[in-house]
Amino acid sequence: MTAASQLATRQLAAVSTGVGTRAIYAERALNAELWDVAGRRFIDFAAGIAVNNTGHRHPALMEAVRHQAEHFTHTCFHVAPYEGYIRLAERLNAIAPTGAENRTMLVTTGAEAVENAVKIARAYTKRPGVIAFTGAFHGRTMLGMALTGKVSPYKKNFGPFPSDIYHVAFPNTYLGVSLEDSLAGLERLFQSDIDPERVAALIVEPVQGEGGFNVAPTEFLVALREVADRYGIVLIADEVQAGMGRTGKMFGFEHAGVKPDLITMAKGLAGGFPLSAVTGRAEIMNAAHPGGLGGTYGGNPLSVAAANAVLDVIEQEKLCERAAFVGQRIKDRLTVISERQGMEAIGDVRGLGAMVAFELVKDRDTKDADPALTNAIVAEAEKRGLILLSCGTRLNVVRILTPLTIEEDILAEGLDILEASIEAAISASAV
């Protein structure tokens, strides 16, 4: 029995089957490469789901965490606060594009950040309602699932969910949902389901993650800002996946020039260490009463040390610029592939910065989804040593999330494997 099969057997006997996994049992990783327990090498085009923007085990992060571990690993910020947390808050306040004086709180996961942003918005507005969008993903907690606009696998069998949560169609020109359709749906919601004067927050991703890497049009974010201003609604930018340089700017909202009131961030914030944050306008962030926010592990010292190092690396290695370059390389390659004869299954190539995806369809005219081909491409890539992820409400999108620090030759090798995997899967599907 191989090491991987032994681990698979042990996992089946010890871990809930509700925790979905792949058959890659990691042993070590470095920057954009990962090796499993059998010694197989993989190029990582997933980055831990946009977590390792600075790559696996970046030396600056490792040194920062080692240094912090020599002092203390946990005190609970509520009990004995520490300089690292305060310094990180100062730095996030300085870069958050709200156009106002900011404040920050730290927690552990993206879902926690989202939940706290909603709590803060409700405390500030004294209103209950929250509006999210179809295709959104905001976490796996009960409130996170309620906000999420994708049923399977996230919401299936887990209801009922918290009340006062509403969804409006997210613009998707590829599938025929125009900007005007979305904004008209928002107005209908105000007319038929909830008075805008009872809405605490609008929460939106600048690029939908699980929803299929759908990029929010600039005009859409501008319109949401106007609606929020008109009715006194807090505009929350969910930057959990798009933030920390991933889109070519520190935050995805910056591409539109729109200033959100609150920003949630996690994933790439601490480069593999569990940490999340809510940063936003001071008057809103300070609306919660003392003791109303936080948590035992919120702002763990090791994670905070890693996050401060991440901010240094993003600046010193110009990772925002690097994200734009890497993303363009990937989009250009995919576009060339999609234009070849026999590649009609690639219906769309899209993305922002180094958040790039391609959608698989059975027919380019009908745009019928092809989730089977999507799974086949991901599986074929894994056989060839490339880690990919799928996404999309129709389960037919392959997303690419390389570390922003990926080496040129590794990126080229990974794209070659990707192309070969697409060709092999499409060829097999035609038999």
**Helices (H) then strands (E): counts for the chain:** 13, 15
Residue 64 lies in a domain: no
- Domain of 94: which CATH number? 3.40.640.10
The one-character DSSP state at 267 is G
Residue range of the domain that includes 18: 3-57+318-429
Q: Rounding to the nearest 10 degrees, give the CA dihedral for residues 75, 80, 84, 87.
A: 150
Say whether both 80 and 155 belong to one domain.
yes
DSSP assigned state of 136 = -
Same domain? For 226 and 108 the reply is yes
Helix ranges, 47-201 (H):
47-50, 59-69, 83-95, 110-125, 142-147, 179-192
pLDDT in tens, 277-316: 999 999 999 999 999 999 999 999 999 999 999 999 999 9
Same domain (yes/no): 294, 322: no
Domain endpoint, select from 287, 316, 345: 316
340 & 259 share domain: no
pLDDT at position 94: 98
385 within a domain of the structure (yes/no): yes
| pLDDT attached to residue 146 | 96
User: Exposure pattern of 309-335 as b/e (b: 16+ CB <10 Å)?
Assistant: bbbebbeebebbebbbbbbebbbebbe
CATH code for position 22: 3.90.1150.10
Whole-number pLDDT of residue 207: 98
pTM for the structure as a whole: 0.96
- Long-range contact list for 371-378, CB < 8 A, 24+ apart? 371/395, 371/396, 372/429, 373/345, 373/425, 373/426, 373/429, 374/398, 376/425, 376/428, 376/429, 377/421, 377/422, 377/425
299 and 329 in a common domain: no
Domain match, 287 and 417 both = no
- Within a domain: 222: yes
63 lies in a domain? no
What is the chain's alpha carbon radius of gyration, rounded to the nearest angstrom? Answer: 21
Using the 8-state DSSP alphabet, how is residue 274 labeled? -
Q: Name which of 411, 415, 420 is nearest 55 in CA terms.
A: 411
Nearest CA to 271 out of 242, 233, 311, 299 is that of 311
Domain's final residue, options 282, 316, 350: 316
Contact in structure between 355 and 249 (CB atoms under 8 Å): no
Q: Are residues 252 and 375 in the same domain?
A: no
Torsion, Cα of 322, 423, 152, 132 (10° steps): 40
Beta bridge partners of 42: 34
Q: In what order do the strands lie in the sheet with 129-133?
A: 102-107, 276-281, 262-265, 234-238, 199-204, 129-133, 165-168
- E strand or H helix at 33: strand 33-36
- Measure the CA–CA gap between 409 and 164, rounded to whole angstroms: 50
Please return the burial class of 66, using the count of CB atoms within 10 Å of its CB with bins 0-12, 13-18 and 19+.
exposed
**Which pLDDT score, from 0 to 100, does residue 158 have?**
87
Q: What is the pLDDT of residue 420?
A: 98
The total number of structural domains in the chain stands at 2
- State which residues of the chain have pLDDT below 50: none
**Alpha-carbon span 134 to 18, nearest angstrom:** 24
Do 105 and 35 belong together in one domain?
Answer: no
Q: Kind of pairing, strands 129-133 and 199-204?
A: parallel
Token readout for 312 is 């240094």
| CA distances (Å), origin 256, targets 94, 201, 221, 223, 259 | 19, 19, 7, 11, 9
**Are residues 89 and 37 part of one domain?**
no
Do the domain assignments include residue 67? no
153 and 255 within one domain: yes
Domain membership of residue 167 (yes or no) is yes
Q: Is residue 66 part of a domain?
A: no
Three-class SS state of 133: strand
Q: Based on the domain organization, do 287 and 322 belong to the same domain? A: no
Asked if 148 and 221 sit in the same domain, the reply is yes
Q: Give whole-number Cα distances, 64 to 169, 200, 275, in Å.
A: 43, 39, 15
Choose the final residue of a domain: 316, 342, 364: 316
Do the beta carbons of residue 202 and residue 234 sit within 8 Å? yes
**Within-domain flag for 246:** yes
